[in-house]
A and B are shown apart, each in its own frame.
Chain A
Amino acid sequence: MHMEAIMTDPHTPFILGSWLVAMALLGLETILVIRRRRQAQRALQRARQRQGAM
């Protein structure tokens, strides 16, 4: 409804600059956190495999 007015607003760069940076940062944090947990789980798996092999 208001999207057309927002996109032609002279303040659009400020609105988009706020929202896109916010979403990008929070998205990046999500990816990094999930990756860190996966790495920790894999490290445990490797350690367990080494224990099993001994």
Chain B
Amino acid sequence: MEQDGRIRWLKFSSPRHFYHLVDRVIPWAWWVAGIALVVGLTIGFLIAPADYQQGNSYRIMFIHVPAAWMSMFIYLLIAGYAFIHLVWRVKMADVMAISLAPTGAIFAFLSLWTGALWGRPTWGAYWVWDARLTSSLLLLLLYLGYMALHAAIPDRQRAGRAASLVALVGVVNVPIIYFSVHWWNTLHQGASITLTAAPTMAGTMFAALVAMTVACWAYTIAVVLTRAQAETLERERGALWAAQLADPPHTRQEADKEHV
């Protein structure tokens, strides 16, 4: 992996090395996700006090906020991979982009769903055509459009390139979502947590939010890398390294040594 003190990053763009590397990462990500979820649920439901204005319905925020963050961040990642795929034709970039999309779509849906269920008791409405909500709905539609286009074109290379273009055009929506509460007069409140100021919430509430965010991140890493492994195997069906995965472990190791 390391030669002359430098990590050979390009090695990880090879499907074979990628598959074996993520095989070691995935179990750790599942463990972190599980532990952080238990911690988040415990603090969020058993320790954090009720909000003085919203009562207990604010506990929806512990899933709503991480889901909304993840939906935006995953789209940025997809756009980054789409750029790499379009410019350098790295096929693993397309594998990562298409593996991220369903998880991003689920988080985008969850941010809308949980937001609606929080909005009803708090605002008195499940939905309003507010800039933040509308741009978040657009993000879900972009995810669905990206996946639909990728699936609609039978040739994988052409599908990857066309979907990458959609991902890059759609990325302009992410800053719109983020800054919508500043740019327009919206019903949706501004951010309670920023990088430059202390959080405007109780310490236990913040701890629950952090734990749930870690859980969502680790979950995303685990599930996306597992999907990327499946996608890699489906695409590399004819490759020798993939065929050797089906061999018994002792013969596989010998075959690996021959390749080094």
Contacts and interface: CB of A to CB of B under 8 A. Distances in A.
A6 B102 CA distance: 32
A19 B223 CA distance: 19
A37 B230 contact: yes
Contact of A37 (B48, B49, B56, B226): B226
A45 B246 CA distance: 5
A21 B113 contact: yes
A5 interface: yes
Interface in A1-54: 1-3, 5-6, 9-12, 14-15, 17-19, 21-22, 25-26, 29-30, 33-34, 36-37, 39-41, 43-45, 47-49, 51
B47 interface: yes
Chain B contact residues, majority secondary structure: helix
B227 interface: yes
Contacts of B56: 2, 5-6, 9, 11-12, 15
A47 B45 CA distance: 50
Interface string B237-260: 100001101110000000000000
B120 A14 contact: yes
A3 B237 contact: no
B136 interface: no
Given A15-B56, A22-B67, A37-B229, A51 B118 contact: no
* Chain A interface helix/strand/loop/mixed: helix
Contact of A14 (B57, B106, B219): B57
Interface stretch (B5-13, B58-66, B153-161): B58-66
Contacts of A44: 233, 237, 242-243, 245-246
B44 to A, nearest CB: 9
Interface in B92-112: 102-103, 106, 109-110
Contact of B121 (A14, A30, A51): A14
Contacts of A43: 233-234, 237
Interface in B186-232: 219, 223, 226-227, 229-230
Contacts of A48: 243, 246-247
Given A33-B223, A44-B245, A11 B45 contact: no
Contact of B118 (A9, A14, A21, A22): A14
A26 B106 contact: yes
B149 interface: no
Interface of A: 1-3, 5-6, 9-12, 14-15, 17-19, 21-22, 25-26, 29-30, 33-34, 36-37, 39-41, 43-45, 47-49, 51
Closest 8 CB pairs of A and B: A40-B233, A48-B246, A11-B57, A37-B230, A45-B246, A18-B114, A36-B230, A14-B117
